[in-house]
Every structure is written in C-alpha cells, then in structure tokens.
C-alpha cells in the first residue's frame, strides 16, 4: 500500500515508523519510464521507498515552463503504487517554503554556472536547495538520481560530499525510446514533427561515442551529425566524467542540449576515448 502525505509532520510520522534502509526518489511528477527505473532501483536496494513529487518553483527561470509544467498527481500515484513505493510526499509550495522564497540557498559553485547553468541562471541553486531540503526531511540512506540529468547528478554528488550529507547517491542509467530519444517529462510538449526532429540529440551522441572508440574526434563528429535544420544546438561538449576538461584518453562524457521548437532538451552519454594513433 502506498501512503500519500502532503505535510512535513505527516512525513516525519511515517518516516519515524520505518525501520531498515530508506531510499528516496525525488521527482517533479509527470512520471514516465525513466522514473519507473529510478523507483525500481530504489525498491531493489532499500527496505522502504519514499518518492517525492514537487514542482520546485526555485529551479524555473521567469520565462520558463513552471506554469505549464505537467501536473498529473493521480497518474503519478498509480505509478508509485505499481512500483511498490511505500510513501509519497507531495507538499505544496507553502509546505516546502513556509517563509516564502528562501534567503539562504545552496551555492553550486563554478560548475553550476556552466552548461545548463549558463543557459538557465540560478537553476542549480534552486535544484540543490530543494534536494538538500528533501534530504533533510526524508532522511534517506540512499537517494536515486537519473544519469539523464548528468550535471544535476554530478552536482548532487558534489554537494553531499562537500557538505557532509549522510546519504549515498545512486546514479541510474537513462531510459530511451526505441529510436534513442531520452525519456523526459518535457517530451510531451513535442508536436509530432518535433518529436521526429528530437532524435538528432541521441543520434549525435551515438555518433560521438562511436567516433571516440575509433580514436576520432568525438565532439566534432557529434556536431557534424547533429541536424541543425530541425533543432537549435545550445551546447555539445566532451568532458571527463566529473564534467572537467575533455580527456585525451579513457572515460569521458558527451553532453548535448538543444531547442526543438520551443522545448529545450538535454541528453548525454558515457564515452571511452581511444587516443588517436
Ligand atoms: O530532476 C528533477 O526532477 C528535479 O530537478 C528534482 C531533483 C526533483 C529537484 O526538483
């Protein structure tokens, strides 16, 4: 049975009754197969699973999609029940931010200003602040985040390390449509032609991954594969696994962000860079 609570007090009561390990999956709702994979991992690795559903206003810019972000609580609860979630915490804005906009926020540091942070100023301040708050109120042993939001995952790991937060962060691989498109709650904004065009992100990544393995320039090949006629590239970058400078050899990460119509999509893939002969 999945219990639903909206207040911190009810959450605290339910959490206190949990014995054994607790895993949390934080979401903004509009759950899809990618979230199901997170919930599955949490179910497999923890005794109790808490899912949080909260569309966090702090991580949306003034011209972003906060108002139209899909809110599908009943469908989300059905998915949580099916996935064996023990407890859903779905607070409203006043419950999460009782004093209004928080004056003190988590500063993500320089990594928070690059890539997504460069296009979405303040985004990671908002993400890390709510993640830290949700960690405080759910007190999990494990917290599961998707690799799809790779910079978010990297920064959450970093925050937990730098601020001594007692939780283990578990990254869960991206779930994709058969044509390669990474699952995202924002995919539902795409019109049919845009949905078709959106494949170019994963196609570019696949080409880059293959090129890297052959000792060719992954970033250049991915760029050449990206179809700029149907999507507008924001960034496409090869980094090391911690989002530092591109490696000459060994593991790396290829990241892409692009606009398809008015929808901004991101994706990334692990690469193994083979040094050019
Ligand atoms: O990845 C998300 O859905 C959000 O950024 C998160 C982690 C739930 C924080 O609002």
Give the confidence band of 6 by pLDDT, cuts at 50, 70, 90.
very high
Other residues' Cβ atoms within 10 Å of the Cβ of residue 206:
15
The pLDDT-based confidence of 66 (bands split at 50, 70, 90) is very high
With bands split at pLDDT 50, 70 and 90, how would you rate the model's confidence at 258? Answer: very high
223 confidence band (pLDDT: 50, 70, 90): very high
CB 269 within 8 A of CB 147: no
pLDDT averaged over the chain? 98
* Ligand 1 centroid, distance to 95 Cα (angstroms): 17
Q: Do domains 3-172 and 187-271 have the same CATH topology?
A: no
**What is the signed CA dihedral for 59, 184, 88, 2, rounded to 10 degrees?**
180
Per annotation, catalytic residue among 6, 35, 48, 125:
35
| CATH number belonging to the domain at 3-172, selected among 1.20.1630.10, 3.60.21.10, 3.40.50.620, 3.30.450.20 | 3.40.50.620
Cα–Cα distance for residue pair 270/277, rounded to 1 Å: 21
Residue 265: per-residue pLDDT: 98
In the chain, which ranges are continuous DSSP H helix? Answer: 8-16, 33-45, 73-82, 93-96, 116-119, 123-138, 150-162, 192-197, 199-213, 218-225
On whether 250 is known to bind a ligand per the annotation, the reply is: no
Is pLDDT above 90 for 87? yes
Fold of 187-271: 3.30.1300
At 108 the pLDDT is: 98
For 62, phi then psi, to 5°, come to: -60, -30
Give the Å distance between the CA of 250 and the centre of ligand 1: 30
Compute, in angstroms, the gap from residue 55 CA to the centroid of ligand 1: 8
Once rounded to an integer, what is the mean pLDDT over residues 84-107?
A: 97
141 is catalytic: no
pLDDT tens digit sequence for 20-48:
999 999 999 999 999 999 999 999 999 99
Stretch 184-211: mean pLDDT, rounded? Answer: 98
**Which residue's structure tokens are 């001594």?**
164
pLDDT of 246 reads: 97
Phi, psi of 208, deg, nearest 5: -65, -40
- Establish whether 31 is an annotated binding residue: yes
Q: What is the pLDDT of residue 276?
A: 82
Ligand 1 lined by 26 (C-beta under 6 Å): yes
Question: Which atom in ligand 1 lies closest to the alpha carbon of residue 59?
Answer: 10
* pLDDT score, position 43: 98
128 lines ligand 1 (CB under 6 A): no
pLDDT category at 277 given cuts 50, 70, 90 is confident
Indicate whether 188 pLDDT > 90: yes
Q: Is the pLDDT of residue 200 over 90?
A: yes
Q: What is the pLDDT of residues 201-213, one digit of tens each?
A: 999 999 999 999 9
β-strand pairing of 142-146 with 22-27: parallel
pLDDT at 97: 98
Confidence label for 264 from pLDDT (cuts 50, 70 and 90): very high
Find out whether the beta carbon of 130 lies less than 6 Å from any atom of ligand 1: yes
Domain segments of the chain as ranges: 3-172, 187-271
Read off the pLDDT of each residue in 119-141 and give the average, rounded to a whole number.
98
Enter the pTM of the model: 0.97
**Ligand 1 atom 8 nearest Cα:** 27
């Amino acid at each position: 049975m999945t219990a639903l609570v909206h207040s911190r007090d009810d959450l605290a009561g339910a959490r206190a009754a949990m014995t054994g390990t607790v895993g949390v999956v934080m979401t903004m709702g509009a759950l899809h197969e990618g979230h199901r994979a997170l919930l599955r991992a949490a179910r497999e690795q923890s005794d109790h699973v808490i899912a949080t559903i909260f569309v966090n206003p702090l991580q949306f810019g003034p011209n972003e999609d906060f108002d139209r972000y899909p809110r599908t609580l009943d469908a989300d609860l059905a998915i949580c029940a099916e996935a064996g979630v023990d407890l859903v915490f779905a607070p409203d804005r006043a419950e999460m931010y009782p004093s209004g906009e928080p004056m003190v926020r988590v500063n993500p540091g320089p990594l928070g200003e690059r890539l997504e942070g460069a296009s979405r100023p303040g985004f990671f301040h908002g993400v890390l602040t709510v993640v830290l708050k949700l960690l405080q109120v759910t007190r999990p042993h494990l917290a599961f985040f998707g690799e799809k939001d790779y910079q978010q995952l990297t920064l959450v790991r970093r925050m937990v390390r730098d601020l001594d937060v007692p939780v283990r962060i578990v990254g869960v691989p991206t779930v994709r449509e058969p044509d390669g498109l990474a699952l995202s709650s924002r995919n539902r904004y795409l019109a049919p032609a845009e949905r078709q065009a959106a494949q170019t992100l994963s196609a570019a990544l696949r080409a880059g991954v293959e090129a890297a393995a052959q000792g060719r320039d992954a970033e250049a090949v991915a760029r050449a594969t990206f179809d700029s006629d149907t999507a507008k590239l924001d960034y496409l970058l090869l980094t090391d696994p911690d989002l530092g400078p591109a490696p000459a050899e060994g593991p790396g990460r290829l990241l892409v962000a692009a606009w398809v119509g008015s929808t901004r999509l991101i994706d990334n893939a692990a690469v193994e860079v083979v040094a050019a002969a």
